[in-house]
Amino acid sequence: MSQPDLDLQPLVNSPIRLSTEDIPASNRQAWLSEVIGREYANVKITPPKKGKLFNEMLIYPWQDLRLSVIHSNSINIERLPKEPHYNSQDNYFGVVLLSGKYLLEQNNREVYLQPGEMTIYDATLPHRIYCPESFSKLIISIPRKQMRERMAGVEHCTALKMKCDVGIGAVTSRYIQSVAAEASCMPSATFSAASDSALDLFTLALNSVIPQHIQLSRSRSLSLYRVKDFVKRNLSNPALDSVRIVQGTGLSERYINELFHDEDTSLMRYVWKQRLMNCYRDLANPNFVTKQVSEIALRWGFNDFSHFSRAFKQQYGVTPRSVKVLN
C-alpha cells in the first residue's frame, strides 16, 4: 500500500473573518465596538474624521494562542474602565506592525511603532491606541498565565518597543510575519506547531528590552525558560527525571524547585502536566497520523498505560479513549 502524500494533509481551517464591510454604514461603529470588546478588550472607538470607518479582522486559533491579521483605516481606540467579561480578554497582546503608523499608551509609557517593530500590552489595563492613517498589524493573543510562566516581570514591559532591524527582534518579526502570510497554506499540524516557536522567539525579544531595575526577575525568568525549554525538547524520553534536568540545564535541583514553587507547582508535576497536555492535543486532533491511544501515550514519555489513563482522567475528567472517539 502506498504511503499517504504528506502534501495532501488538510489545511488549517479558514480564519474567522469579521469586517465592517459586511455591516450597514450606520451600524458599523457600534458593531466594531462590540466585536473588539468580545474578541480583545472593552474599548471606546473614535472613527476617522475623514473617510469611512473600515476594519477587518482575520482570527486564527493557534493552539493556546490566537493570531489575528488586522487591516484598518485611521482609528483611535481607548480601553474602557470595565472588568473583562470574556476569557479572550484576559490576555497580553503582542503586536507586530505591518504597515502604517501605530501609537500605544499604557502604564504611563508611550511607544510609536514603524512597520516591522513590535510591542506588547495588557488587555485588561487602561490603554490607548492611535493610528492616524490606514494600517495593518498582527496581534498574538497570549493568555496571561502562559505569558507570566514564560517571563517574570512581563508587566514591566508593556508599551516598550522591540526593534526589527537587528538581533532577536529582527528574527522574531520576520518569523511571525512569515507564518501569518502562509497561515492559510500550511497543514494544520504545521501551523499549530509554529505557535510554540513564535512564542519562544517573542519572549526572547521581549527579554531584550526588559528594564534594568528588574534584572533579578529577568535572571529567574531566563532560568525558568531554560528549564522549560529542556523539558520540552526531552518530553518524549520516559527516563526524563529531575536528575537529567539538573544535568541538562546546569542549575541546582534546589534552585529549580524554588522557581517552580513560585508558580505553585513542582518540577515533576510540571513535566507530568506537559506530557498530558501534549497527549490531549494529539488525541483531539482528528488529522493526527497516530491513531492508537497507547502509541500517543508512548510518544510523550508514558511507558505505563494504566498510570497514563488514571492521570489523564484525573486531569481532564474523561478517559483518553473517549477523547479519541469524539474526534
Read off the pTM.
Answer: 0.66
Predicted confidence at residue 116, as pLDDT, reads 96
205 CB-near residues (< 8 Å, 6+ apart): 118, 162, 168, 169, 171, 172, 173
Predicted confidence at residue 18, as pLDDT, reads 96
Residue 155 Cα distances to 25, 142, 158, 217, angstroms: 38, 13, 6, 11
Mean pLDDT by 10 residues, the chain (327 residues): 43 80 94 91 86 94 94 91 62 96 92 96 91 96 87 85 92 96 88 91 89 60 83 90 90 87 85 89 74 85 88 87 69
CA dist., res. 200 & res. 63, Å (int): 14
Q: 3-state DSSP call for residue 44?
A: strand
Predicted confidence at residue 277, as pLDDT, reads 87
pLDDT tens for each residue of 282-316? 888 777 666 688 888 888 999 888 888 888 988 88
Q: How many CB atoms lie within 10 A of CB 240?
A: 19
Predicted confidence at residue 137, as pLDDT, reads 98
Our CA dihedral for 219, 223, 229, 233, rounded to 10 degrees, sits at 150
Instruction: Please state whether beta strands 128-131 and 135-143 pair in parallel, antiparallel, or not at all (unpaired).
Output: unpaired
- Rg of the chain on CA atoms, in Å: 21
272 CB-near residues (< 8 Å, 6+ apart): 311
